[in-house]
């Protein structure tokens, strides 16, 4: 019986080893595009005559340059049925979507594009003053239908990859973000099951200090009531806690502006409700609506201080 099992195991290994790569054809297209871009990069600064520009009499190439490096990591979920479906999607030219990495549910990492190249994963979005995240970020897609939990193996592989990327490109801790963060009116990935707090504990992204949040209190005039339009758009739910005589208590400053805090963190606040939902998807991860409760305001204030 043992011999039979051994033969089966050896046969299975041989079949896997000998099976052709299903992406041979698209890999050839990938290599062809690389050659075309490599040719462009090898072009020396302009030497030919140009009637429109008064170039100097000879070409001079600087000796001081290097490759541009990514400064952000944007994490997605695939919202597809399997990693195979996602790999197919990213290898069909007409889809016009791609990512640098795809991580399967069992933790396999597919590196689909050189980190220095621009993948098409972010789309229209904004984070802080950056409006073209595709040009400044690495995209990582996690095999997930958009609702399920992320597996242990998948998150372990993600953490291993993030550690390598952070060290290699010196990416700031706060620049590990989600697709919904940069496109709050369009995207909701990664889903609320994503372990942002664990990532922050490992140095990938910021998180609030729960103990400090619990110590905070809201003064009666914490929210700027002079601008009723902002207040109405935020739809803030709160109880107007009055300041007590306890001088040792910590209070959120009077006239604290939630919209300003969201903008300081990085969110596009042109649609306040969408910005709040994106903030809650990342940092609250329940009751993802456009309301901010007292506790959520305190969480926002604590994070605002970290991002200053």
Name the nearest CA neighbour of 296 among 271, 279, 275, 308.
Answer: 279
Q: Which of 40, 47, 49, 141 is catalytic?
A: 141
Q: In whole angstroms, what is the distance from residue 268 CA to residue 285 CA?
A: 19
Q: In whole angstroms, what is the distance from residue 41 CA to residue 65 CA?
A: 13
Q: For 51-107, write each residue's pLDDT tens digit.
A: 687 777 888 888 998 988 999 999 999 999 999 999 999 999 999 999 999 999 999
Answer whether residue 211 shows pLDDT above 70. Answer: yes
Output the pLDDT for position 60.
Answer: 85
Q: Which of 137-151, 248-262, 275-289 is the least confident region?
A: 248-262
Output the pLDDT for position 178.
Answer: 98
The CATH code of domain 72-201 reads 3.40.80.10
Most confident of 45-59, 224-238, 240-254: 45-59
Cβ neighbours for 189, distance < 8 A, ≥ 6 positions apart = 75, 76, 77, 79, 146, 178, 179, 180
Name the nearest CA neighbour of 175 among 230, 218, 124, 138.
Answer: 138
Q: Are 192 and 216 in contact (CB under 8 A)?
A: no
Answer whether residue 240 shows pLDDT above 90. Answer: no
* Average pLDDT estimate for 249-253: 82
Answer whether residue 32 shows pLDDT above 80. Answer: yes
| Greatest C-alpha distance within the chain | 83
Q: For 182-205, write each residue's pLDDT tens digit.
A: 999 999 999 999 999 999 999 999
Output the pLDDT for position 229.
Answer: 46
Residue extents of the structural domains in the chain: 72-201, 210-307
* Structure-block tokens of residue 127: 């984070």
Answer whether residue 247 shows pLDDT above 90. Answer: no
Cβ neighbours for 25, distance < 8 A, ≥ 6 positions apart = none
Output the pLDDT for position 197.
Answer: 98
40 has catalytic annotation: no
Answer whether residue 40 shows pLDDT above 50. Answer: yes
Answer whether residue 306 shows pLDDT above 90. Answer: yes
| Residue-by-residue DSSP string for the chain | -HHHHHHHHHHHHHHHHHSPPTTHHHHHHHHHHHHHHHHHHHPPSP-S--TTS---SS----S--------EEEEEE--SS-HHHHHHHTT-GGG----SEEE-TT--EEE-S-TTS--S-S-S--BTTB--GGGTEEEEEE---SSSPPPHHHHHHHHHHHHHHHHHHT--GGGEEEHHHH-TTT---S-TTS-HHHHHHTTSS----HHHHHHEEE-TT-B-TT-HHHHHHHT-----PPP-S-TTSEEEPTTB-HHHHHHHHT---SSHHHHHHHHHHHHT-SS-SS---HHHHHHHHHHHHHH-
| Mean per-residue pLDDT over the chain, rounded | 87
Say what angle helices 258-265 and 294-307 make with each other, to 10 degrees: 40
* Average pLDDT estimate for 238-252: 53
Output the pLDDT for position 54.
Answer: 79
Name the nearest CA neighbour of 142 among 197, 99, 95.
Answer: 99
């Amino acid at each position: 019986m043992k011999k039979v099992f051994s033969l089966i195991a050896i046969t299975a290994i041989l079949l896997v080893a000998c099976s052709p790569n299903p992406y041979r054809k698209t890999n050839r297209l990938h290599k062809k595009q690389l050659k075309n871009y490599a040719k462009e990069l090898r072009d020396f600064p302009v030497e030919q005559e140009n009637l429109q520009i008064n170039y100097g009499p000879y070409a001079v190439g600087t000796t001081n340059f290097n490759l541009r490096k990514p400064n952000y990591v944007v994490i997605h979920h695939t919202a597809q049925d399997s990693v195979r479906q996602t790999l197919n999607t990213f290898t069909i030219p007409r889809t016009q979507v791609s990512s640098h990495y795809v991580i399967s549910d069992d933790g396999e990492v597919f590196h689909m594009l050189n980190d220095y190249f621009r993948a098409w994963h972010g789309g229209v979005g904004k984070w802080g003053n950056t409006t073209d995240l595709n040009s400044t970020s690495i995209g990582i897609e996690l095999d997930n239908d958009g609702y399920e939990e992320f597996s242990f193996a998948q998150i372990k592989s993600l953490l291993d990859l993030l550690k390598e990327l952070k060290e290699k490109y010196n990416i700031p801790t706060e620049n590990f973000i989600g697709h919904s963060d940069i496109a709050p009116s369009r995207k909701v990935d990664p889903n609320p099951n994503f372990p942002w707090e664990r990532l922050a504990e490992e140095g990938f992204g910021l998180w609030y200090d729960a103990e400090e949040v619990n110590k905070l209190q809201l003064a009666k005039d914490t929210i700027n009531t002079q601008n009723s339009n902002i207040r109405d758009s935020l739809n803030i739910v709160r109880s107007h806690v009055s300041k007590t005589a306890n001088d040792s208590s910590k209070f959120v400053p009077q006239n604290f502006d939630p919209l300003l805090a969201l903008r300081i963190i990085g969110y596009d606040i042109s649609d306040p409700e969408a910005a709040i939902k994106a903030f809650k998807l990342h940092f609250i991860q329940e009751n993802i609506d456009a309301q901010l409760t007292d506790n959520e305001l305190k969480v926002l204030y604590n994070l605002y201080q970290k991002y200053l």
